[in-house]
Amino acid sequence: MLVFDQLNKGDRNLRIVAWAMLAGLLVLAAQLWRLQVFSADRYRATQLTQSFKTVRMPALRGKILDRHRHELVGNAPRFRLDLYLDELRPQFKAEYQRIKQQVLAAKRGAAGGETAPEESFFAHLLSKFRKHKNAARFTSDEVASMERRARFLVVSNTVAAVGARMGLSLPLNEEALQRHYLQRRFLPLSVLPSCTPAQVAFVTEQGWSIPGVALEQVAVRNYPNGPLGVHLLGHLRRDDGEDDDEGSFDYRLPDYVGGIGLEKSFDRELRGVPGAKSILVNSAGYRAPQAEEVLTPAQPGQNLVTTLDRDLQKEAEKALNSVKAGDERGAVVVMDPRNGDVLAMASAPAFNPVEFIDGVTAARWTNFFMAEPWRPMFNRATYGEYAPGSIFKIINALALLENGLAPDEIYSVAADPRRPGKGRYLLGNRSIEDTAPPGEYDFRRAFIRSSNSYFIDHGLKLGWEKLLAMGHRFGLGETSGIRIGEEQDGDFPTMEKVRKEGWGPGKLANICIGQEITVTPLQMAVALGTVANGGKVFWPRVVDRLEPADVLSEEPTVNVKPGQLRDRIELPQRVWDLVRAAMRDDVADSEGTGKASRLKDFAVCGKTGTAEIKGNGRKDKVTWFASFAPYEAPRYVVVVMVESGGSGGGTCAPVAKQIYQYLQGREQGTVKGLARN
C-alpha cells in the first residue's frame, strides 16, 4: 500500500505523514468497532425509541374551609397498587411461544383428522384454522388473538399472586386490560385503587419480588367531618371529558369535577390549572427507561373560605337527625340577619361523598340515592319546594298591618260543629278548618294561636294585589342568589297569573294561610332575617373569599362583600314591632304554638306552620318552625322544616331549641365553640 511504501523510504517528512495517516486510520477503525460492536445494544434500543406521549396531570384541588378556617373538605394521600406492563414483556413473549406451540400442535392434529383438545380458547382458534388448514403461516388475526391471550394469562397470574399475598380477591377484566394495552400501555395498570394503611405497610415490609408491581401515591378528596354539610359543599365525580386544551394531550390521568354544591359552582377556581409531562415511548408502545419529564407543573386550585361555622353545622345536623333517628327528612338553615351570612345549612337524609370518588353503581344510585321518599341527593334546604302553611302568616300580618289593620280590633272565630273545641271559617258553602278554638281574637292572640279564620277573613278584605306584592318584596317566587346550582324559586303567583287563571276568593283564602304556594327553607330564612333586621332583604352569602393555596403566592385574594342588599322593605316601625312582639309571644306565652322552643334568658321569636300535601294518591304533612333570636338584638335566624312531621310546634320547634341552646351556651362560654364576633 502507498502508506507502507512511504514508511520504507528515507524521506523523513514523508515518513511522518505516513505514520500520522496510519494512526488516523487506526482511530477510525477503533471508533467504528465501538459503535457497531461494543455499543450496538444501546443504539439498537435507542433506535426503537421513536415517540413522545404528552400526559395531562390534574392539579391539587383547593380546600373548602369554614369561617374560622376549619377544614371542611381537603385532600389526603391515597396509596394505589399499580402494575407496569413493560416489566412483564419477557413473560408475554414466553407465554406467547408456549401458546403458539400448543396451537401448532392442535392445528396439525386437526389437519390429520385428530380431535383437538376441548378448550374454549383453542376451539375458537381451530375454527379459524379449519377454514385454511393448508396455510403455512398464522394470519394476523390469529397472532393478535394469541398475543392477547398470553397477556391476559400473564397479567391475571400476576394479579392473582398479588391477591394471594394480600389475602384479597382482585378482579381483572380482560376487556379493560385490552383497552389499557392498546391505548395507554406506557402508563401503569391499577390493580388495587385504594390500599389501607395495613396493606401499605404489608407491601412495604415484604419487599416484593413480583415484577411490575409498585405502590403509587395519589391525592384524593378528603372529608375530615364525614358527610357534614354535604348538600351545600357538594361531591366530586370522575371527569373523563375533554377540556378546551385537551387536543394538546395524548392522555389524561384520572381527574374529577364538581358534581353538586360549591364543588360544582366553584369548580374552575377549586380545580386549578393542570400540568403536563412527557413520556418517551418506544415503538412497542411501552415507556422507555428513565424517559419521563415534567413539562409544565400543575398549579393547585384556590381555597374556598365559606361563611359556614363548622361547630354550628354539626349541632344543626345533630338536632335535625334527632327528629326520627335515621328516618328524618327535612332541612335547617341558620343565618345571620345582620348581613345575610349562612352559618349552617343542613338537609336530611345525607349521603357519604366518598362513594363518588370510585364511582357509584347503577343499583346503588337507583336503590339508595334516588329512592323515594328519602332521596338523599336532594338538598331540601334550597331545592325543596314546600307549602309554608302558617309561617306565611308572618308576611300576611305585615301586609295587613301596613294597610290599616287595627291590632286591637276583635274578631270572633265561629265554632265547628263537627270538631268540638275547634273553630271554622265559612266561605260560601265551603267550611275551612281552624286549629284555633272558637272565641274572640285580636291580632296578637290570632297570631300566637295561629287562627286560620282571622287571617283568611282579613286577607280576603285586603285582596290579591297587596298580599302578593308583600310576598314578592321578600323575594318569594325567585331564587335567592346563593350561588349554588341546586336551588328552586318556589311557586308564588303574580297578579298576571291570577287574572289569567281567573282565581277567586277560594284560592285567595288558601294562600292567606300558606296553602297552594311553595317556598324553600332558604327563602324563608331570608324572609325571617328581613323581619328581624327591620326591612333589609339581603342576598344570602355562603362564600367569604377565594384565596391562593400558597400563602406566599402573589395571586390576589378575591373577597365576596358581606351584607349586599337585594331590597329594602319600608314599613312603619310600629308594624315591625307588632309582628316581632307577636313572634316573641308565640314562644313565650303559654297559649303560643311555638312554646317548645322557649329558653331562659334567650328570647326566641318564632312562628309554627303545618301544611297538608295531597296528590299522587298520598296525603302528607310539611311542618315548619321559622324563628330568630334574641328578641332584643337579633343575631340568628333558624328555620326548620320536617317532612311527615306531627306539627310545627311538636316536631320542629324542639329542633330549633337545641340549636339556640348551643348558640346561647357558646356565647356564655358554657359549651365548646367560638363565641360570636
E strands of 129-282, at which residues?
189-195, 213-222, 236-238, 251-252, 256-258, 275-282
Strands 303-306 and 543-547: antiparallel
Burial of residue 418 (number of CB atoms within 10 Å: 0-12, 13-18, 19+): exposed
Residue 456, classed as helix, strand or coil, is helix
| Final residue before a domain boundary, out of 285, 304, 323 | 304
Structural domain includes residue 180 = yes
Give the chain's domain count.
Answer: 3
Q: Which residue has the higher pLDDT, 526 or 274?
A: 526
Cα–Cα dist 234/216, whole Å: 27
Domain of residue 398, CATH code: 3.40.710.10
Sorting pLDDT into bands at 50, 70 and 90, what band is 445?
A: very high
**Which range, of 7-21, 301-315, 319-333, 628-642, averages the lowest pLDDT?**
7-21
Structural domain includes residue 92 = yes
Q: Clarify whether residues 17 and 136 are in a common domain.
A: no
Sorting pLDDT into bands at 50, 70 and 90, what band is 672?
A: low
Q: Is pLDDT at 129 greater than 70 in this prediction? A: no
Largest Cα span, the chain: 148
- How would you label 89-127 residue by residue, b for 16+ Cβ within 10 Å and e otherwise? bebbeebbeebbebbeebbeebeeeeebeeeeebeebbe
Cα–Cα dist 343/381, whole Å: 13
Q: Clarify whether residues 322 and 387 are in a common domain.
A: yes
Q: Whole-angstrom distance between the N-terminal and C-terminal Cα of the chain?
A: 103
Residue 655 C-alpha cell reads as: 329542633
Task: Tell me how crowded residue 197 is: count the other CB atoms within 10 A of its CB.
Answer: 8
Closest CA to 388 of 523, 557, 571, 583: 523
Q: What's the pLDDT score for residue 149? A: 92
Q: What's the pLDDT score for residue 246? A: 47
Handedness of CA 546, 550, 555, 557 (dihedral sign): positive
Mean pLDDT score, 67-77: 95
Q: Which amino acid is at 585?
A: D
Cα–Cα dist 95/267, whole Å: 47
Closest CA to 606 of 451, 401, 448, 436: 448
Structural domain includes residue 170 = yes
Strands 342-348 and 251-252: unpaired
Cα–Cα dist 429/414, whole Å: 15
411 beta partners: 441
Residue 397, classed as helix, strand or coil, is helix
Average pLDDT, the chain: 87
Q: Clarify whether residues 631 and 520 are in a common domain.
A: yes
Mean pLDDT score, 592-607: 97
Q: Clarify whether residues 346 and 399 are in a common domain.
A: yes
Q: Clarify whether residues 435 and 295 are in a common domain.
A: no
Structural domain includes residue 673 = no
DSSP state of 591: T
Structural domain includes residue 291 = yes
Q: What's the pLDDT score for residue 677? A: 45
Q: Clarify whether residues 509 and 410 are in a common domain.
A: yes
Q: Clarify whether residues 300 and 163 are in a common domain.
A: yes
Strands 189-195 and 543-547: unpaired
Strands 71-83 and 49-57: unpaired
- What does each C-alpha distance from 482 to 29, 437, 638 come to in angstroms? 80, 41, 17
Highest mean pLDDT among 93-102, 293-302, 404-413: 404-413
Q: Clarify whether residues 119 and 102 are in a common domain.
A: yes
For every residue of 501-519, DSSP letters joined together read: HT--HHHHHHHHTT-S-BB
- What does each C-alpha distance from 368 to 231, 238, 468 come to in angstroms? 16, 20, 39
Q: What's the pLDDT score for residue 338? A: 98
Q: Clarify whether residues 86 and 18 are in a common domain.
A: no
Q: What's the pLDDT score for residue 611? A: 93
Q: Clarify whether residues 346 and 290 are in a common domain.
A: no
Q: Give the tens place of pLDDT for each residue, 359-396.
A: 888 999 999 998 988 999 999 999 999 999 999 999 99
Structural domain includes residue 476 = yes
**Which structural domain range is residue 180 located in?**
74-221+276-304
Q: Clarify whether residues 518 and 658 are in a common domain.
A: yes
Q: Which amino acid is at 656?
A: A
Structural domain includes residue 467 = yes
Q: Is pLDDT at 43 greater than 60 in this prediction? A: no
Residue with cell string 523523513: 12
Structural domain includes residue 63 = no
Q: What's the pLDDT score for residue 102? A: 85
Q: Clarify whether residues 325 and 454 are in a common domain.
A: yes
Residue 444, classed as helix, strand or coil, is helix
Closest CA to 340 of 564, 100, 632, 55: 564
Q: Is pLDDT at 128 greater than 90 in this prediction? A: no
Q: Give the tens place of pLDDT for each residue, 617-643.
A: 667 899 999 999 999 999 999 999 999
Mean pLDDT score, 232-242: 83
Q: Give the tens place of pLDDT for each residue, 147-182.
A: 999 999 999 888 888 888 888 888 888 888 888 888
DSSP state of 280: E
Residue with cell string 334527632: 322
* Helix 573-588 and helix 521-533, axial crossing angle in degrees, nearest 10: 120
- What does each C-alpha distance from 365 to 115, 164, 238, 376 come to in angstroms? 50, 32, 15, 10
Helix (H) or strand (E) run with residue 359 in it: none
Q: Which residue has the higher pLDDT, 168 or 397?
A: 397
Q: Which residue has the higher pLDDT, 444 or 286?
A: 444
Phi, psi of 591 (to 5 degrees): -85, -15
Q: Is pLDDT at 133 greater than 50 in this prediction? A: no
Q: Which amino acid is at 419?
A: R
Helix (H) or strand (E) run with residue 440 in it: strand 439-441
Handedness of CA 465, 470, 473, 478 (dihedral sign): negative
Burial of residue 373 (number of CB atoms within 10 Å: 0-12, 13-18, 19+): exposed
